[in-house]
A and B are shown apart, each in its own frame.
Chain A
Amino acid sequence: SAVISQKPSRDICQRGTSLTIQCQVDSQVTMMFWYRQQPGQSLTLIATANQGSEATYESGFVIDKFPISRPNLTFSTLTVSNMSPEDSSIYLCSVEARRGYTFGSGTRLTVV
């Protein structure tokens, strides 16, 4: 099963700034998924990132706020732009594995 390294594990950021989260997979995968988990809530899909094409965003999420890069089949980044306290969440990346989906360890973001 794929192993994902996600960085940073946590960060505290000032409002108005941006944070880029990285996910590195130990094998080549076609699609990578980015999720947001707000405090005490479930996971919500932000976007699906395919290598070589623009990411597909879910309703309520826009590219200007959450730009995604997918330069190759093992790596992706999610940027949270112009942050506000409402962006304080856990952000997780995910890929499809043999039995299901494997997730990164998550990035806990606090915006102050």
Chain B
Amino acid sequence: AQTVTQSQPEMSVQEAETVTLSCTYDTSENNYYLFWYKQPPSRQMILVIRQEAYKQQNATENRFSVNFQKAAKSFSLKISDSQLGDTAMYFCAFMKQIQGAQKLVFGQGTRLTINP
């Protein structure tokens, strides 16, 4: 079974600081995808960043970057120059596709607050 663990239920930083959210996962597979999603109070799920397991290079999207450590099964999200609009729940997710079936498994989430 695939599990995703986010060990930080809540985090809080000052605006413009850098913050890192942790995520570990458990799988015996070699090919898979990892995602970070953001859920603001509006409850809309917004894709932040995606990482393919076969790629060694860490994904980057503007202020958002990941530290993907495949051997350690770790997938942390770094937010640089944090902004008030980054305040949200952040979910790490693991996806595996096998024989046409897909399943996206989410971690428990980290509530991030950016303070002015």
Binding site for B on A (CB under 8 A): 31, 33, 37, 41-45, 48, 56, 90, 92, 94, 96-97, 99-103, 105-106, 108
Contact A101 B107 (CB under 8 A): no
Q: Which of A43, A45, A102 has the most CB of B within 10 A?
A: A43
Whether A42 pairs with B108 at a CB distance below 8 angstroms is yes
Q: Is there an interface contact between A101 and B35, defined as CB atoms closer than 8 Å? A: yes
Whole-angstrom distance between the Cβ of B96 and the nearest chain A Cβ: 12
Closest to B9 in A: A40
Q: How many B residues, CB 8 Å from partner?
A: 19
Q: What is the minimal beta-carbon distance from A96 to any residue of chain B, in angstroms?
A: 7
Contact B35 A106 (CB under 8 A): no
CA distance A61 to B50 in the complex (A): 28
Given the known inter-chain contacts A101-B35, A103-B44, please indicate yes or no for A45 contacting B109, CB distance below 8 A. Answer: no
Q: Which residues of B contact A (CB under 8 A)?
A: 33, 35, 42-45, 47, 50, 91, 95, 101-109
What CA separation (Å) do A103 and B107 show in the bound complex?
A: 17
Considering the chains assembled together, what is the distance between the CA atoms of A108 and B43 in angstroms? Answer: 9
Q: In the complex, A102→B104 CA distance in Å?
A: 12
Query: Known contacts being A99-B47, A106-B43, is A42 close to B106, with CB within 8 Å?
Result: yes
Q: Contact between B44 and A100 (Cβ–Cβ < 8 Å)? A: no
Q: Known contacts A33-B104, A48-B102, A96-B102: does B50 contact A105 (CB below 8 Å)?
A: no
For B6, give the chain A residue with the smallest CB separation: A42
CB-based nearest B residue for A43: B106
Known: A48-B101, A56-B101. A42 touches B91 (CB 8 A): yes
Residues from chain A with a CB closer than 8 A to the CB of B102 are: 31, 48, 96
Minimum CB–CB distance from A54 to chain B (whole Å) comes to 14
Contacts of A101 in B (CB 8 A): 35, 47, 95, 104
Residues of A within 8 A of B95 (CB): 101
